[in-house]
Structure 1
Amino acid sequence: MAALVGVALVAAGCTGGGEPEGGGASPTTTTSPRPQLPEGEQGPLPQVTPQPLAMNRIGDDVAVRDKVELVIDPMVAPQTVDLASRLLEEAGAAEVIVRAPGARVEDATLSVRIGDRAGATSAKELQDLGFPLASTEPESYTLAVQGGEQQLITIGAADPAGVHYGVQTLRQLTSEGRIAGAGVVDRPSMPLRGTVEGFYGSPWTQQERLDQLAFYGDMKLNTYIYAPKDDPYHRELWREPYPPAEFGELQELIGAAAANFVKFTFAISPGTSICYSDPADVAALQGKMQAVYDAGVRDFSIALDDITYTQWNCAQDAQRYGEPSQASAGQAQVDLLNTVQTEFVETHPDTAPLQFVPTEYSDMEDSPYKSALREQLHPDVVTMWTGDGVIPESVTIEDAQQAGQVWGRELFLWDNYPVNDFPASEGRLLVGPYAKREQGLHEHLSGAVSNPMNQAAASKVAETGLADFSWNSADYDPQRAWRAAAEYLAGDRFSAERAGFEADPATVDALLVFFDLNYFSPVANGSPWQGPAPELQRRIDEFRAQWSGGDRAAALEGLRGYARAIADAPEAIRAGADRDFTADSEPWLQATDLWGAALLATVDGLQARAEGNEPGAQAKFAESAEFAQRAGQIETVPGENEQQGPVRLADGVLDVFLREAPGL
């Protein structure tokens, strides 16, 4: 495919609300009831992303000061202890004393207890508060922040990942030396949530991958599928072992993934040259898997996308399976996948079921190929699907149900957004919201992953939406997640590089203006599934109505304010946003500089016209046209994307208005 994107959604049972702005229809299926939490004095709580299953205020905030004890049991991973300790220190603790359960630190002003939901560290406190016992489901946790005379924070979880996610939620409840008095009962609605590096063009660098894995830990994403199309050892040279230097980088990524509770899924794409009936090729495939299994990988994927079934790669396959066809290709792939599942996966301890990208990876239509796989593929093999098209306009419950019937199993969504490696995405930075994925899809899919852009840091905008959606699809709100991405990129991070809890409001606003200019999201034929610059379009429509209605002063004042916001956004982003995001976005920021100047010049021209100064108006319109021409000459970074060309943003909105404004 031009680009593969997968979003894994899996059932975990949550209740949902109505349809949020930009989202899909409300779920039609029944979900398990929302946990009932004890309630204290009401007050606003900070937004937590991903949205928890259940969260409300249970009492006063907790002050973090002086000496704090951090009580941990054996379930808690060292990296989680480190995260909790740094969080408390940054929040205001003069000293954090880490200890095992037992005698408490007498002069501690706050006790933080994290560990096994049923262990002595957590269970009694949660039960005394009237909390339901934390779920036994993987990655679930319960959190309680108790203010008052005895300040106490308790996190109980089902496993080490759940403990870590509880601390990540605690991070987002912290502001200005206080932790909000919240109660949370939480678990993911999908067991597989993350990204697949499956695009064409320049692969991510090692540093970008390490940064992504840290981001997944922040956002409770647990899956990274390593499948870069332009890694020769993934595809063309799949039989050959990775050279020592490249293998060393893989080992570093495997370790970083584990440290962030992310499943490093190793994908191999042998379809361009494999001989299905040759035992040597099957052995080579399993040998490649064995090498990374020995390095710690327990999740594997075989990608058979973007190949043809109109010819075989060897004469042996023609003898065994007959003439090339959909049916014979399906049979050959079934034999390969079943062999790998039974001979490798089932004989290697702790290995997850094999994942598979089929040659027919989209739509809901039956075929001889799908029939062969439906009838014979091992039931444990996880099959990926991109929706009703390679780049779908939406993903609905009905789509997932129909596709599941055709394939005979729940499917794992490979969502081709925000990938920008196909012709219609040329010149675009896709930072619109993650939208038009229907609430409740977790009940009909086995998981969801997003295929990102070559621009790794800029992909975090859509990845934040995917994280929010796949954690709690029933309550998903695209606009809420979109703003959360801006807040994260504006400083709401907690890392070794930038410890802190607050996003800079001016930077958030600038990012949202910039995101709007780059809202347009095309399907494969170039038509939009998300239209261009909706907020800018709203402002222009408002201007036109006021201008034509005779209130020209109000029209110019309103449009000038937003034009100034556009013109000022690039500098605000360069000064205050994540440095990697700024680097990824630089060509689009340069274009925004010029388009903002063009819009301001046009407003000046209209102002001059309103004042009866037509020569001044014409001069300003000419100045605007020059800025617009220069903006149109800015190009994407050579070699970074599969598709190269002029930078495009807000086209069909801003350029049209600038052309038409001199005639108003």
Structure 2
Amino acid sequence: MTRRIGLPLLAATLLSSTPLAAQVATRPAIFPAPTELTLGADTMTLGRRVTLVAAPGTDAATVALAAQILRTAGVETITTARRPVTDATQPQIVLGLADAALVRTALSGTAPDTVREGYTLTIAPATNTVTLAGHDADGLFHAVQTLRQLVQRPTLPALVIRDHPAMPVRGTIEGFYGKPWTMAERTRHLDFLATVKANTYVYSPKDDPYARDRWREAYSAETLTQLGTLAAAATRNHVDFVYAISPGPSVCFSAPADLQALRTKFDALRAIGIHRFYVALDDIEYKKWNCDADQAAFGPSGAAAAGKAQAQLLNAVQADLTRRDPKAPPLIMVPTEYYDAKDTPYKAALRDNLDPKVVVQWTGTDVVPPAISVPDAKAATKAFGRKTLLWDNYPVNDYAQTTGRLLMAPYARREAGLAGELTGILSNPMNQEAPSRVAVTGVLAFAWNDKDYDAERTWQWSARELAGGDARATDALLTFFDTQHMAPTFGSQPWQEQAPRLHALLDAVRTALADGDAGTRAQAIADLTRAADDLVAAPDTIRAGVADASFTEQARPWLDALALWGRALGQTAAGLAAADAGSPAAARYFADAQRLATDAAAVRTIPGATRFDGTIRIADGVLDRFIADAPGLIGTGAR
């Protein structure tokens, strides 16, 4: 695991008198992985003073963010200038759109990236210049996020980065059942999305009554103000705020009054700064009409009739959006048959009747798919008559199989090359916002650059980000994440195994006890004791090292249970050591271990925090099984 230097040490390194510029250039770890990175031979440091040169017309907020990042990295004095300095001893940051004259000059012949949201970043030690050139304002913002990662190193290597997203849409959809996020949690989530170069957040909590059951009713003035503030936070983070409404349970597709109700709802949201909309038609009864008028308009109820009726309503909404603003982003919808890619009468009716501008979401080969391949996505393109926007139901934990779990495994089993068949990916996160970031980081890194995505390295980076670069907290988080590795599906087999690191260790202990000599057995028991100590220590290390208190609060019962399970494993190791020595104390240690395991297994989720309350799962099927089996692994006879 690559250790990222902590900010206090980084600042001391940057400001020291050691001639760091003579150090060897090494390739920086940037997440998401850049499309293209070419490393040079030299390095530079920023030091105490930096000149910041922004091209005319550069977004002031982006310039301010760059300055904030530099100060966090230890720069004490930032001088602003209208043109680059000629003194090569003075470090400078030049930023702006790539077509600005001074930015083109600073690029020194480097051809800029020309893709939407793309950027070019160069570090030129010979002139002591870092240049950030955005293809557009979003691209420049992404370049500053890359700068944030680069300046966490003690030296900056000579390099050229040309980078842009593989998928046009990348983000999250707050689309789970159960307790919605608070406005404060959503704001923190938008700030997080900016750091991983996401560009979309869909507001679609199933338990917002004014977005689903009471969708025709207006929001209160207070709620509108809160949504407006949230939309402004999204804009600040270069994230599209998308408002989703779910009229399906009661809508009359042919009723002009219901179409007008949608227009009225969207008008109120448009007035507070929300300009992108979504109609969700998932999880509804679609083979039975909600009104007699639909029977008259579309004939007997059924899947094909539902597809045609839905298309008519959606087309009218799309036409209204275009009429109001010809440049408005297209409407997004999720169909009632949002899973698999089999052709059906419903999909055929939607394909034949739905305006091609409307974006269709699809959850993959199942509601919670164990894997998604390029052929799967091609089949969905054919079934829906357009490339789909993937709604990936990971790491959402609002279904029964996830009771007692946080889903924090690496994002995996999505095939490189999907960018060619999808318009993007939206992750459906957990009710627990901060713990969701672990998996969501992987989703968004994959969406940015699926061909160079490394699940394990991205997983480790997400831990370092939560830990603020602290190595001990990072290791503790990875220990915790491993106990929350299982990824269930709606089927019988999980699509990610539980606790693979711990499982490997415990299997090695079993093998050593079964086949090893006295020294091998003693070493295995010592390894087991260290692992138990790590489990016991991890919760306190995480609480002390993770700056965002929302993570430790939302994960509180899991951390409490982890410490208890660690103590149970420690007593198990003591029991094995005693048994290996022929001591009668083994039975007492094993009894203590079982008591602690029983206490740990009884820890419950925070009431109401998740759709299904229940007992906490920690490395279940791995840790509990080993503790139960341990008394039979070594005979109690004399040695």
TM-score (norm 1): 0.89
Work out whether 1:115 is the aligned partner of 2:82. no
- 2-structure distance, mates of 1:144, 1:442: 26
Q: Per-residue displacement from partner, 1:479-530 (whole Å, max 9, x unpaired)?
A: 0111011011001xxxxxxxxxxx0111110000100000011001352100
Letter in 2 for 1:379: P
Q: Per-residue displacement from partner, 1:274-308 (whole Å, max 9, x unpaired)?
A: 11111011011011112212222222110000101
Counterpart of 2:593? Answer: 624
Counterpart of 2:299? Answer: 322
- 1-structure distance, mates of 2:464, 2:281: 38
Work out whether 1:72 is the aligned partner of 2:50. no
Measured after TM superposition, the shift of residue 571 of structure 1 is: 0.9
Work out whether 1:541 is the aligned partner of 2:507. yes
Q: Per-residue displacement from partner, 1:304-336 (whole Å, max 9, x unpaired)?
A: 001011211111111111111001101100100
Task: Specify the SS of the correspondent of 1:214.
Answer: helix
Counterpart of 1:282? Answer: 259
Work out whether 1:93 is the aligned partner of 2:62. no
Work out whether 1:513 is the aligned partner of 2:479. yes
- 2-structure distance, mates of 1:554, 1:104: 62
Structure 1: gaps (5+ residues): 1-39, 492-502
Check 1:661–1:654 CA distance in 2 against 1; reply closer, same or farther (3 A cut): same
- 2-structure distance, mates of 1:541, 1:154: 51
Letter in 2 for 1:640: A
Check 1:516–1:75 CA distance in 2 against 1; reply closer, same or farther (3 A cut): farther
Is the CA contact (8 Å cut-off) linking 2:282 and 2:335 kept in structure 1? yes
Counterpart of 2:494? Answer: 528
Letter in 2 for 1:487: R
Counterpart of 1:312? Answer: 289
- 1-structure distance, mates of 2:349, 2:267: 28
Counterpart of 2:572? Answer: 602
Measured after TM superposition, the shift of residue 349 of structure 1 is: 4.6
- 1-structure distance, mates of 2:349, 2:95: 49
- 2-structure distance, mates of 1:594, 1:87: 40
- 2-structure distance, mates of 1:152, 1:107: 8
- 2-structure distance, mates of 1:352, 1:346: 12
Is the CA contact (8 Å cut-off) linking 1:203 and 1:231 kept in structure 2? yes
Letter in 1 for 2:559: L
Paired residue for 2:528, among 541, 559, 563?
559
Counterpart of 2:13? Answer: none
Is the CA contact (8 Å cut-off) linking 2:178 and 2:431 kept in structure 1? yes
Aligned residue pairs, count: 608
Is the CA contact (8 Å cut-off) linking 2:53 and 2:84 kept in structure 1? no
Q: How does 1:133-144 map to 2 (within 5 A)?
A: 133-144=111-122
Measured after TM superposition, the shift of residue 77 of structure 1 is: 1.8
Is the CA contact (8 Å cut-off) linking 1:257 and 1:263 kept in structure 2? yes
- 2-structure distance, mates of 1:572, 1:105: 48
Is the CA contact (8 Å cut-off) linking 1:220 and 1:467 kept in structure 2? yes
Work out whether 1:352 is the aligned partner of 2:332. no
- 1-structure distance, mates of 2:492, 2:137: 44
Letter in 2 for 1:642: R
Q: How does 1:437-452 map to 2 (within 5 A)?
A: 437-452=414-429
Q: Per-residue displacement from partner, 1:557-603 (whole Å, max 9, x unpaired)?
A: 22222121111111111110132111111110011010000001000
Is the CA contact (8 Å cut-off) linking 1:298 and 1:350 kept in structure 2? no
Structure 2: gaps (5+ residues): 1-21, 634-639
Is the CA contact (8 Å cut-off) linking 2:252 and 2:258 kept in structure 1? yes
Is the CA contact (8 Å cut-off) linking 1:59 and 1:147 kept in structure 2? no
Is the CA contact (8 Å cut-off) linking 2:25 and 2:40 kept in structure 1? no
- 1-structure distance, mates of 2:350, 2:112: 39
Task: Specify the SS of the correspondent of 2:138.
Answer: helix
- 2-structure distance, mates of 1:600, 1:157: 54
Counterpart of 2:355? Answer: 378
Letter in 1 for 2:625: V
Work out whether 1:584 is the aligned partner of 2:561. no
Counterpart of 2:369? Answer: 392
- 1-structure distance, mates of 2:535, 2:581: 25
Measured after TM superposition, the shift of residue 41 of structure 1 is: 9.7
Counterpart of 2:405? Answer: 428
Q: How does 1:645-660 map to 2 (within 5 A)?
A: 645-660=614-629
Paired residue for 1:480, among 442, 452, 457?
457
Q: How does 1:3-42 map to 2 (within 5 A)?
A: none
- 2-structure distance, mates of 1:423, 1:345: 41
Q: Per-residue displacement from partner, 1:118-160 (whole Å, max 9, x unpaired)?
A: 21122123243xx2x2222211000011114x31111111111
- 1-structure distance, mates of 2:433, 2:297: 44
- 2-structure distance, mates of 1:485, 1:292: 34
* More displaced 10-residue stretch of structure 1: 110-119 or 86-95: 86-95
- 2-structure distance, mates of 1:92, 1:41: 19
Q: Per-residue displacement from partner, 1:190-217 (whole Å, max 9, x unpaired)?
A: 1100000000000000110000000011
Measured after TM superposition, the shift of residue 176 of structure 1 is: 5.7
Check 1:207–1:590 CA distance in 2 against 1; reply closer, same or farther (3 A cut): same
TM-score (norm 2): 0.93
Q: Per-residue displacement from partner, 1:209-255 (whole Å, max 9, x unpaired)?
A: 00000001111000000000001111011111110111111000100
Check 1:430–1:526 CA distance in 2 against 1; reply closer, same or farther (3 A cut): farther
Computed over aligned residues only, the root mean square deviation of the Cα atoms, in angstroms, reads: 1.6
Check 1:106–1:54 CA distance in 2 against 1; reply closer, same or farther (3 A cut): closer
Letter in 2 for 1:540: L
Letter in 2 for 1:363: D
- 2-structure distance, mates of 1:622, 1:450: 44
Work out whether 1:146 is the aligned partner of 2:124. yes
Question: Of the two structures, which has the highest relative contact order with CA contacts closer than 8 Å and spacing of 6 or more?
Answer: 1
Task: Specify the SS of the correspondent of 1:302.
Answer: strand
Letter in 1 for 2:155: R
- 1-structure distance, mates of 2:492, 2:238: 37
- 2-structure distance, mates of 1:350, 1:252: 24
Is the CA contact (8 Å cut-off) linking 2:84 and 2:94 kept in structure 1? no
